A and B are shown apart, each in its own frame.
Chain A
Amino acid sequence: MSLILVQILNGLQYGLLLFLAASGLTLVFGILGVINLAHGSFYMIGAYMALTLTAYTGDIFIALAAGIPLAFLIGMAIEWLFVRHLYKRDHLQQVLLTFALILVFNEAQQSIWGNYPKSIPTPSYLSSSISLTSDLGYSVYRIALMAICVALALVMMFVIQKTRVGRLIRAAESNPEMVEALGFDSRILFRMVFAAGAALAAAAGMLAAPVESAYPGIGERVLIISFVVVVIGGIGSIRGAFLGSLLIGLADAFGKVFVPKFSSVLIYALMALVLVLRPNGLFGRS
């Protein structure tokens, strides 16, 4: 029983982190019309920023406060340098350019931080665990992590649903030309959306760093699972990304317990099932 409880918590925690990464990916697909393979690299950058910034500031949360705006700026720069040239190009060229970006990011990561996994300290005041049942404890940091993910997700939902910028984003998703014709500069809007996606992915990477440490290839693992989430949820759908993330998070957590060797395969099987039943994802438009 307590095992199931722990796995539910682990699954939710993984799912929430995935949601932060996948929501940016799905927004960039839906609004900018770009398949960004380098999205996972922002997660990786987040993890390593956590390493360096925590070393300087001594606290993951201060690192987070500094790292998210920094990731936002990096996202803007990447959009300005590379991604904006891809809006009018076909999928193949998008794949090529963003794949090459991965190679560049990975090389940069290895040059700066080296090849070995690095662990990031959990803040001392959260390193204890609370007891869920009489014989079961759960790390306070993991609970804080989930709370922050939920908070960030809520902020994002609020921005998209309730603010002027959010209305523009939703409008741009259904008809970018019209938004432009109404006098809004969609270039700025696109840059903001891309940068926000990058910041969310980096935030996920930073939050996860004390739990899973930082290591080469971390971004690509997240990227591929995020693709699975987007396929399950439907391109451009935040709701779909949320549901897909939690589904994958829980499937992964329980797969690891019940079918340890097939837990990854299980996730892809889930994706195949959704594809057959709903080829455009759970919340995708046909």
Chain B
Amino acid sequence: MLKAPSARALVVLALVGALFLVLPGFVGAYGLKFATRIIILSIFVVSLDFILGLAGLVSFGHAAFFGVGAYAVYFVSPESEAANALVALGAGMLAAALCALVIGAFVCLTRGFYFIMVTLAAAQMMFSLFHDTDIAKGSDGAYINVKPDLTIGATSLLDFDHRTTFYYVCLALLVLTVLALFALARTPFGRIVQALKANETRLSALGYNAYQFKLAAFVVAGAFAGLAGALFACIDGFVTPDLFSWHQSGLAIMMAVLGGAGTLFGPILGVLAYVSLEETLKTASLVGAFVAEHWRLGTGATLVVAVLLSPDGLAGYLRGRPRQTNAEPLQDLEPPKEARKARTLATRSLSKSFGGLRAVDNVTAEFSPDLVHGIIGPNGAGKTTFTNLLSGAFRPSAGEILVDGENIAGWPAHRIARRGVGRSFQRTNIFASFTVEENTRIAAQAEHPSVFRLRDGALREAERAKVAHALSIVGLADRAGVVAGSMSNGEQRQLEIAMLIAGGGSILILDEPLAGMGPEETRRVVELLRALKANHTIILIEHDMDAVFAVADTLTVLALGRLIAHGTPDEVRRDEEVIAAYLGGHAPDHKGAPA
């Protein structure tokens, strides 16, 4: 998760800042304009980093919002007088945010390769729109005759036509942008945005609507790109469809990664490094005529090498020493009691087919509260598919899933999680790059999963208590500051259970929680399950038969997708069909017949 810059990084940033502050005293008009461009470019690349580095979404169309911001200034500028500067910049941000909302509504439906291609195509569409049609004079571009200013009464406070004034406005806005995005990243909303990058599946299973968070992050990034675009339009008072060019988007990604994606300040260093490299390679007196003539080749090649050799970028060299993980274990705090969200889970004739294969076939079962329900069956019995249906990872082909009588079949995973059904995964599924405490906190926060939650506020204490309580009962209280991905498999599974507890689900579905655990850890988890069943409904899918028979109050046996037995462990142990299913072929028509 986003950390405050280290002392070293702060020193570098202070130096860069001081340099920018005094620069206008040393350079001429050309130099000042060049520096202004760099600052505006920095705002643009920092805004990209919010979606690229923090949310982990590779947007290849960020220039779309830059362009829209610039054109918005053109549209609000009257023919022969200055627009109000606040209106102009506000219009740039607003127009870009709206554009990001519309484009985002489509692109956030996709992920991975699709996301990259679709964002690129969307930006290209904006390019075509402004290039091929007569909007704002088409491919020729358009002039803003009088640059915006800010006048109150008769006194002109800010005049964008004045180079030095405009330079300082841009510098101030860069600082504000970085601070605003930094603050946003540390809100409850920002934490979930970063969790998107770490593990989207887990996020949905905790009850968050990942789509909404992606879209919101996309809009935020778009709005600040719009600000950069609006400022850019004020440099020369000229807008052209080239502002939408996909080269802009590609170079922005380059600069963000070169500087250090996911740090929000690294991109500024990336912009500086890139621009310095480009200018150096263009200067024939420094590098010779041949290199200067083919500077693009040199820039491209240098960037590739730089990025491949140091994937963390320049900011990676400015990382502080890892802080000592606090040895002080978290004190168990009693979280406020909550009404139980859900008690009984039941299925009626639940089926799931994949092509011709019926992985789950007409299963009717009921899991009542305050008990541990084991689900067992030979390999390929459909246990995991059954789990995936219960949690909403798969849509049932037929049948009903009832939570306290309400049919939730076909609901998306996050909605089922909010209804009170928490699940763990067969392969441990946590936010590996976050600490144990951060993982649990994201789960605890799921009680209030709104996108618009920007403050911890009154919930801070209650959530802290939930985190401390959940970590204490699974026995991870002394590991709170450890990065989750560095822990043993057994500990990660304990963490996953802690997340379910903190998330407030009252029906817990645990898919092979004991897999890969040693005897000591197994004993501990079995104890934990016994303790949890007092106020949870626990559904346990497990291969470790000793543990299942020791802890389960009821057993449901699946074979070839069908329910073949349901009852107490003792009843099931004596069931001939179960014995047949485990020992040999399964012959439903001839009970107990050998295969």
Where the two chains meet, the residues of A that have a C-beta atom closer than 8 Å to any C-beta of B are: 29, 35, 37, 85, 91-93, 95-97, 99-104, 106-108, 111, 220, 224, 227-228, 230-231, 235, 261-265, 268-269, 271-272, 275-276, 279-280
- Quick check: A227 and B106 within 8 Å, CB to CB? no
- Quick check: B297 and A268 within 8 Å, CB to CB? no
- Quick check: B58 and A95 within 8 Å, CB to CB? yes
| Interface pairs (14), CB distance under 8 Å | A29-B113, A92-B52, A92-B257, A95-B250, A97-B307, A100-B254, A103-B300, A107-B300, A231-B114, A264-B125, A269-B125, A271-B121, A279-B110, A280-B114
Docked Cα-Cα span, A271 to B121, in Å, equals 9
- Quick check: B294 and A228 within 8 Å, CB to CB? no
Partner of B294, one of A101, A107, A265: A107
B308 within 8 Å of A by Cβ? yes
Q: Which residues of A contact B314 (CB under 8 A)?
A: none
Docked Cα-Cα span, A281 to B350, in Å, equals 29
B122 within 8 Å of A by Cβ? yes
- Quick check: B114 and A106 within 8 Å, CB to CB? no
- Quick check: B300 and A100 within 8 Å, CB to CB? yes
| Distance from A173 Cβ to chain B, minimum over Cβ atoms (Å) | 14
Contact A268 to B122, CB < 8 A, known contacts A92-B253, A95-B253? yes
B109 within 8 Å of A by Cβ? yes
B160 within 8 Å of A by Cβ? no
- Quick check: B120 and A100 within 8 Å, CB to CB? no
B519 within 8 Å of A by Cβ? no
Q: Which residues of A contact B257 (CB under 8 A)?
A: 92, 96
Partner of B60, one of A29, A95, A101, A262: A95
B280 within 8 Å of A by Cβ? no
Contact A99 to B250, CB < 8 A, known contacts A93-B311, A104-B297? yes
Please name the residue on chain A nearest to B114 by beta carbon.
A231
Q: Which residues of A contact B113 (CB under 8 A)?
A: 29, 35, 91, 235
| Distance from A245 Cβ to chain B, minimum over Cβ atoms (Å) | 15
| Distance from A188 Cβ to chain B, minimum over Cβ atoms (Å) | 24
Please name the residue on chain A nearest to B295 by beta carbon.
A107
- Quick check: B121 and A227 within 8 Å, CB to CB? yes
Identify the 5 closest CB pairs spanning chains A and B, nearest first: A264-B128, A103-B300, A268-B125, A227-B117, A107-B296
Q: Which residues of B contact A101 (CB under 8 A)?
A: 300, 304
Which residues of B322-372 are within 8 A (CB) of A?
none
Where the two chains meet, the residues of B that have a C-beta atom closer than 8 Å to any C-beta of A are: 52, 58, 60, 106, 109-110, 112-114, 116-118, 120-122, 124-125, 128-129, 132-134, 246, 250, 253-254, 257, 261, 294, 296-297, 299-301, 303-304, 307-308, 311
Partner of A111, one of B129, B294, B308: B294
- Quick check: A261 and B311 within 8 Å, CB to CB? no
Q: Which residues of B contact A271 (CB under 8 A)?
A: 118, 121
Partner of B301, one of A104, A228, A263: A104
- Quick check: B116 and A91 within 8 Å, CB to CB? yes
- Quick check: B297 and A108 within 8 Å, CB to CB? yes
Q: Which residues of B contact A279 (CB under 8 A)?
A: 109-110, 114
Q: Which residues of B contact A96 (CB under 8 A)?
A: 253-254, 257, 303-304, 307
Q: Which residues of B contact A264 (CB under 8 A)?
A: 124-125, 128, 132
User: For B113, B299, B301, B304, which residue has the most chain A Cβ atoms within 10 angstroms?
Assistant: B113
- Quick check: A224 and B121 within 8 Å, CB to CB? yes
- Quick check: A268 and B121 within 8 Å, CB to CB? yes
Docked Cα-Cα span, A35 to B119, in Å, equals 14
- Quick check: A224 and B114 within 8 Å, CB to CB? no
- Quick check: A262 and B106 within 8 Å, CB to CB? no
Q: Which residues of B contact A106 (CB under 8 A)?
A: 296
Q: Which residues of A contact B125 (CB under 8 A)?
A: 264-265, 268-269
Docked Cα-Cα span, A279 to B117, in Å, equals 13
- Quick check: A100 and B304 within 8 Å, CB to CB? yes
- Quick check: B114 and A235 within 8 Å, CB to CB? yes
- Quick check: B253 and A99 within 8 Å, CB to CB? yes
| Distance from A110 Cβ to chain B, minimum over Cβ atoms (Å) | 8
- Quick check: B308 and A93 within 8 Å, CB to CB? yes
Docked Cα-Cα span, A102 to B301, in Å, equals 11
- Quick check: B300 and A262 within 8 Å, CB to CB? no
Docked Cα-Cα span, A262 to B253, in Å, equals 29
- Quick check: B120 and A227 within 8 Å, CB to CB? yes
Docked Cα-Cα span, A275 to B294, in Å, equals 40
| Distance from B271 Cβ to chain A, minimum over Cβ atoms (Å) | 16
Docked Cα-Cα span, A235 to B112, in Å, equals 11
Partner of B116, one of A35, A108, A261: A35
Docked Cα-Cα span, A92 to B54, in Å, equals 13
- Quick check: B116 and A268 within 8 Å, CB to CB? no
Docked Cα-Cα span, A12 to B128, in Å, equals 22
Q: Which residues of B contact A93 (CB under 8 A)?
A: 307-308, 311
Partner of A231, one of B117, B250, B296, B311: B117
| Distance from A266 Cβ to chain B, minimum over Cβ atoms (Å) | 9
Q: Which residues of A contact B303 (CB under 8 A)?
A: 96, 100
- Quick check: A95 and B116 within 8 Å, CB to CB? yes
- Quick check: B114 and A272 within 8 Å, CB to CB? no
Q: Which residues of B contact A29 (CB under 8 A)?
A: 113
Q: Which residues of B contact A220 (CB under 8 A)?
A: 246
Partner of B133, one of A85, A92, A103, A262: A262
Docked Cα-Cα span, A250 to B311, in Å, equals 43
Please name the residue on chain B nearest to A92 by beta carbon.
B58
- Quick check: A107 and B124 within 8 Å, CB to CB? no
- Quick check: B299 and A103 within 8 Å, CB to CB? yes
- Quick check: A265 and B296 within 8 Å, CB to CB? no
Docked Cα-Cα span, A230 to B112, in Å, equals 13
Contact A268 to B299, CB < 8 A, known contacts A91-B113, A93-B308, A235-B113? no
- Quick check: A276 and B109 within 8 Å, CB to CB? yes
Q: Which residues of A contact B124 (CB under 8 A)?
A: 224, 264, 268
Docked Cα-Cα span, A275 to B110, in Å, equals 8
Please name the residue on chain B nearest to A263 by beta carbon.
B132
- Quick check: B117 and A262 within 8 Å, CB to CB? no
| Distance from A151 Cβ to chain B, minimum over Cβ atoms (Å) | 29
Q: Which residues of A contact B297 (CB under 8 A)?
A: 103-104, 107-108
Docked Cα-Cα span, A224 to B127, in Å, equals 12
| Distance from B119 Cβ to chain A, minimum over Cβ atoms (Å) | 10
User: For B117, B133, B253, which residue has the most chain A Cβ atoms within 10 angstroms?
Assistant: B117
| Distance from B321 Cβ to chain A, minimum over Cβ atoms (Å) | 27
Contact A224 to B120, CB < 8 A, known contacts A29-B113, A276-B109? yes
User: For B120, B121, B257, B294, which residue has the most chain A Cβ atoms within 10 angstroms?
Assistant: B121
| Distance from A247 Cβ to chain B, minimum over Cβ atoms (Å) | 15
